[in-house]
Amino acid sequence: MAFNPGLRRFRWKGLVTVGAGAGLLALAAFLALPGLREYVYREASYSVVLEQVAHGESDPLILTDRVLFFVQEQMYPGPGYTIDTDPWSSLVRGIGWCDQKVWTVGTFLSLTGVRSRIIQFYTGLDGPSIHAALVVRVGGKWVYYDPLFGITFKLPDGTPATWEDVSGSPELLQAQPVFASLAPEAQEHVLLTYNKIFNSHRPPSLFLSMVKSRAPKAFLANPIHRLWRLLGPTWANAFQDLHLALLPKVPENAHLEQQDPHVMSLKEFHWALRTYYAARNYHLYGRWEKALAEYRRVIQRCPASYLAKWCRLWAGNAELQAGRPQEAAQILVELLERLPDGEIDLRWRVYNQLELVVERGQGWEAARYFRQLSLQDPNATTAMRLVMEKRWPFARGKSP
């Protein structure tokens, strides 16, 4: 049979036409179906953030510590209601308690193949759940972590501890460095929670592996993760811009408060929520300048709103992540001075962010402010202790 170049060209053109048509149909479906677009964006976002957090690390212990630190930095318990639809919603809102933090850490770990399970604790045989933690499979045993309190449990010899180790030796809790760095009020809360757990007569429940819980959607999620790792940050950022531009309304996971007619109109409220939502998404992607620009828009247009306070908090964190600790300290100190004494939850979050500024070695403004504040506010003792015990240059009274 003679070779026919025209037939080959015809076949290639046909394949290209079919491929282009399928691509256009997929794009049309993607643009027309907000639920599909949200799912693809959410799964892609897990890959984007994990790449930044992991820095190529594959060791399960180091990887878990990095993910745990990231979640601690970007998610705080209360105020406001929690949303249990997916971990990305909790990260965007910045609000999460033990359940949400455990779910988020476990989701990130599942993308790397690291096995983890939620461990649920109860009061009494028929009592309600009082706490949730995480166990991670490392070296043939289930290592115990507490994402809510940010505690990585270790034995006296430095090896990872299991829940059996912790429950068999309750004194391990107070021996953990993170526990020792907490303010007295926080230590009391942790001890109260674990005393209830240790005295409960009902064993904890181990839930399904986080890897297996995501298995039913793996045929969709896995190709998304592989594609985004292949495309890299440029395409990921472009897709994020497209997703945020196509939002028809403010997603439910952006809500932090109810609209206050004395502070802003309903129209302004919706605008502020949508802007805050965009800022947090940029923030989590490491796009600091775009995030800061959106935070500033809310602060300038709605300065008296509660959203503006959250924007100042996260703007301080974004400045720190961008390598500008002095600017971060200035924003956070100004926010702290604006907050009334009664807003304990938000004050604690500011203290936590200021501690990060101090820990990264350039937080002279934060250290100086802690000195001024320590005699007035007992909640500042955590940061004061960090400043004085870590022996940084400015902890001895010298500006770096």
- Can you list the positions of beta strands (E) in 210-308? none
Q: What is the pLDDT of residues 334-362, one digit of tens each?
A: 898 888 877 777 887 888 888 787 777 55
In this predicted structure, what is the pLDDT of residue 395? 38
In this predicted structure, what is the pLDDT of residue 118? 92
| Residues β-bridged to residue 138 | 141
Question: Domain extents for the chain?
Answer: 34-213, 263-396
Instruction: Report residues of the chain scoring pLDDT below 50.
Output: 387-388, 390-400
Length of the chain: 400
- Cβ contact 138:58 at 8 Å: no
Question: What is the model's pTM?
Answer: 0.83
| Of the options 3.10.620, 3.30.70, 1.20.1070, 3.40.50, the CATH number for the domain spanning 34-213 | 3.10.620
Same fold, 34-213 and 263-396: no
Q: What is the pLDDT of residues 224-266, one digit of tens each?
A: 888 888 888 899 999 999 999 988 666 655 555 555 555 677 7
Nearest to 146 by CA among 168, 174, 118: 118
> 259 — phi, psi (to 5°)?
-65, 130
Domain 263-396 in CATH 1.25.40.10? The answer is yes
